[in-house]
Every structure is written in structure tokens, then in C-alpha cells.
Amino acid sequence: MMSRSINVSQALRETLLAGLIAVVVFGPIVGVVLKGYAFQLAPARVALLVAGVMAGRLLLSLFLQTERGRALLRRFEGADDGVYVREPGYRSRLRWILPLLLAAALLFPFLSSKYLLTVAILGLIYVLLGLGLNIVVGLAGLLDLGYVAFYAIGAYGLALGYQYLGLGFWSMLPLAALLAAFAGALLGFPVLRMHGDYLAIVTLGFGEIIRLVLTNWLSFTGGPNGVSVPSPTFLGLEFGRRAREGGVPFHEFFHLDYNPNMKFIFLYVVLVLVVALVLFIKHRLTRMPVGRAWEALREDEIACRAMGLNHVLVKLSAFMLGASTAGMAGVFFAS
């Protein structure tokens, strides 16, 4: 079998295209340095990044035209080629990759600064939001534009539960998921017969109602002034330098030096574990009858009902599970 020759002109075209994209991406971000109210251009930094991108793209393009490169591409192309049967004893490589990723994620907070840690926490919160939204929109095909309302319910649930009932972070984490799921059920009932744009408009109105209520009910939510939120604790131990009256700080109980980042490290670790748990549950649900029902509802609701599936329960389950995930994300955001 004769090996195909390397097409240098194609590699150069791909390299120029990659360089153009790099200029568009890195130019405004790296090429403009702000100094107070003025700015200064830094074309040398942009040129260095663009040159690195173009060199990398050229090497990659040339490698992918070799026999080993084409064999590597064929492996990716055959990874999703429809229905097929694995050979007996097949085990996915993810069994090695996922534990390594989890270990790296758990080591990250001890090697990073407070800024990177807070950015990672926000990123994980948005990942948690995206996982819940994927159940409603991605799997069930229900265009929910008021999904952020469940996020607000979780955040305000923690704040108001602490202010009026004395509930803390760990008490409100499952309760906020239940409250958001209940709100998802209330939203799900009126929109059972709506589809497409009509469903989007109603859910958008629901999100606006929640926002307006939380903003204007001054005596209950504090309105624009906000409301205090309790700090998370570990087995009742607080992460501040000094605990409240009768309490013991975390660092004193474990005889450690005080670390102001310990609260953020704790939130990060809990978030990683919650995201991993939600990912596992979602992965299992998609392979269970309820997950197949969501996909059937998304593809064709009439055929779904003709198959004997209860579309009311299918829609409500998607709304409630997606909302509960957003409620938990709201608790982390408020903390």
C-alpha cells in the first residue's frame, strides 16, 4: 500500500487560518495594556503568541498527513460511528483518566493563589448550572429561559433560611435543592401543553417574576440592600481567625497555622465532589428509562405519547431535576 505524499500547501493554508484566528482572539486581550484611563499597545506580545500558534498548527498539520497522524485521526473518527458492539472484556480508558483528573482537581487548591481559587469556584458553579440546564434543554428539549430563577431560589434560600430559621450551609444545601425542585414542579404544571417559543416566553416570565419579587420585597429579602449569608463550616468548625462566642476555629481545633484561603479551599473541594456526583447521576440517568423518555420527548412528543409514556411525569421530572441542580449551585454562589 503506497503512502500518500504530504500536501504542504494545505498545511500552510491551515497555518495562516490559525494565525488569523489567533490575532482576533489574542489581539484585544493581550495586545492592549490598560494604565488607568489610558491604554498602551503591546504588539510584540501578540506577535509572539501568534507565532507560537502558527508554528504549532504547522507541525500538527504536517504530522496529521503522515501515516501515524492518519491512524490517529481514524481512531477519533471511529469513536462515534453509530451502533456497534464492543468486544468481550473491553474496558474504557476513562477508568484511568477520570481518577487522575479528580486527583489533579483535588490538589489544585493547595498549589494555587486565592484569585485562581475563586475563579475555579465560579467556574465549577457554572458547570453545575450547565449540568442542570442540560437535563431540561439538552435531554428533554424544553427551552427554559427562566432557569436562572432556580439559581436565585437556592441563593436566597440559604440567606433567608439563616436569617429567619438559623439554618446553615449544610442544612440548606439539600433543602435548597428540594425548594428549587418544588418551584420547578410549580413551573412545570402550567407549561405542560406549551412548546417551542410559547414555552420559552412563559419560562422567561417566570424568571422575571422571581427577580422582581426578590428585588422589591424589602421587608423579607432586603431588596437591593441584600441579606447576610452564613459562612460554611466543617463539622461545626468555622474558618475565620476567631469563631463566634462558644465556637472553635478550624485551625485551632486541628492545631494548624491560620490560612485565610481555607474557606475557599473547603468550598472548592466540596464543589468538586458535588459536580462529580451530579455528573455520575446524570450519566446513569441517561441510560435509565427516564433518560430514554427525556430523549424521546425531545425528538417527538406525539410519538412519545403514542408509545404509552406519561409526558406529564417526563416533563416534570426534567424540570425538577434540573431545578434542584441549580438550587445547589445557588447555595455555593451565595456562600
| Predicted pLDDT at 239 | 63
Of these ranges, 46-50, 73-77, 93-97, the one predicted with the greatest mean pLDDT is 46-50
pLDDT at 233 over 80: no
| Predicted pLDDT at 247 | 65
- Let me know: does 141 contact 200? Beta carbons within 8 Å: no
- Hey, what's the cell of 309? 409514556
16 vs 302, more confident: 16
| Predicted pLDDT at 244 | 66
* Residues pairing with 38 in the sheet: 35
Task: Tell me the per-residue pLDDT of 166-198, one tens digit each, with 9 for 90 and over.
Answer: 788 888 888 999 999 998 888 888 777 777 788
* Residue entry with cell 409514556: 309
Provide DSSP, 158-182: HHHHHHHH---HHHHHHHHHHHHHH
**What is d(CA 66, CA 197) in angstroms, rounded to the nearest whole number?**
49
To 10 degrees, what angle do helices 289-299 and 311-334 make? 100
**What is d(CA 261, CA 156) in angstroms, rounded to the nearest whole number?**
24
pLDDT at 79 over 60: no
Task: Tell me the per-residue pLDDT of 128-174, one tens digit each, with 9 for 90 and over.
Answer: 999 999 998 888 888 888 889 999 998 998 888 888 887 888 888 88
**pTM higher than the cut 0.85:** no
| Predicted pLDDT at 254 | 62
| Predicted pLDDT at 248 | 66
What would the mean pLDDT of 71-77 be, rounded to a whole number? Answer: 75
pLDDT at 110 over 50: yes
Give the least confident one: 95-104, 180-189, 255-264: 255-264
| Predicted pLDDT at 236 | 63
Domain range summary for the chain, segments of one domain joined by +: 1-69, 99-334
What would the mean pLDDT of 89-118 be, rounded to a whole number? Answer: 79
pLDDT at 3 over 60: no
| Predicted pLDDT at 2 | 40
pLDDT at 227 over 50: yes
pLDDT at 273 over 80: yes
CA 272 distance to own-chain centroid:
11
**What is d(CA 91, CA 296) in angstroms, rounded to the nearest whole number?**
29
% the chain with pLDDT above 70: 87
Average pLDDT, the chain: 82
| Predicted pLDDT at 15 | 93
| Predicted pLDDT at 131 | 92
